[in-house]
Structure 1
Amino acid sequence: MYKIAYNEVLDESPREGRLQERTALERSIAMLQDAERAGAGSREAIDAIFFVRKLWGIFIEDLASSENGLPQKLRADLISVGLWVMRESEEIRLGRSSNFAGLIDVSRTISEGLQ
């Protein structure tokens, strides 16, 4: 699997880059909803948390890159959101939280912003 930097995708087609990100976020939302129904200790939860952490890890890495073309303030805000998602998903993984709703809401808000 090739890892394409956010700017490379945006150089080709800003709309396509946003669509790919939105599709990934929508997949994470669906997985989190399945996990919420199945419970924090379920296989669905494990899969959802793994996917969410990997996705946001990619987002954060790209947002931290000096080559990212987004405004600095927006990048910083999104990194903060991503770090919260990572912390909250870790709390769920460790059994100290079951806040799937918070992760779903944040993911939905970010996804809707990519329209």
Structure 2
Amino acid sequence: MSHAAQAYARTSQTTASPREIEAQALLKAARQLQEIQNNWKGPDRNMHKALMFNRRLWSIFLTAAESNENPHSLEVRQNIANIGVFVMKQTIEMQMDPDPAKLKSLIEINCNIAAGLSGRG
């Protein structure tokens, strides 16, 4: 990558809105999970890394939803928490009984929420 491209990438990251940063993180997690699903060879290091990244991301969302400083309505925060709990359960299920089909819901959730955050939903 050229120096100009690197500078642009740094600038675009620092000027992105929090919603866009969240959307980008969700899409990154979805891409990682999709890669595992598309190239399934059984549970491996890459699967565990992708699941861990997604779980950490959703842990952040869950923590934010529980925060009293969160500006969203209680209903929105509860919806985020409910989705987060579902994501955590699906992740545990995938780790205990790996099956690439179980990644579908995690991928779809991340893509749909990212689209909503980006105003494309």
Shorter-chain TM range is 0.7 to 0.9
Q: 1:109 aligns with which of 109, 112, 118?
A: 112
1:40-60 superposed Cα distances (whole Å, 9 cap, x missing partner):
502221111000110000110
After TM superposition, which residue ranges in structure 1, 4 or more long, deviate above 3 angstroms?
A: none
Residue 68 of structure 1: SS of its match in structure 2? coil
1-structure distance, mates of 2:90, 2:106: 8
Aligned residue number for residue 79 of structure 1:
81
Question: Which amino acid in 1 is paired with 2:56?
Answer: K
Aligned to 1:88: 90
Alpha carbon RMSD of aligned pairs, Å? 1.6
Residue deviations 1:13-70, cap 9 Å, x none?
Answer: 9x61101100100100110001112335022211110001100001100110010001
Q: What is the alpha-carbon distance in structure 2 between the residues aligned to residue 96 and residue 27 of structure 1? A: 21
**Retained in 2: the 8 A contact 1:38–1:44?**
no
User: RCO greater where, 1 or 2, for CA within 8 Å and sep 6 or more?
Assistant: 2
TM-score calculated relative to the size of structure 1:
0.82
Work out the CA distance in 1 between the residues paired with 2:52 and 2:86.
15
Select between 102-111 and 91-100 the one with higher mean Cα deviation.
91-100
SS for the counterpart of 1:53 is helix
Give the CA deviation at 1:96.
5.3
AA aligned to 2:116 is G
If you compute each CA radius of gyration, which structure gives the higher value, 1 or 2?
Answer: 2
What are structure 2's unaligned runs of at least 5 residues?
A: 1-14
Counterpart Cα distance in 2 of 1:50 and 1:60: 15
Contact 1:38 1:45 in 2 (8 A): no
Question: What is the TM-score of this pair, normalised by structure 2?
Answer: 0.78
Q: Any unmatched runs of 5+ in structure 1? A: 1-12
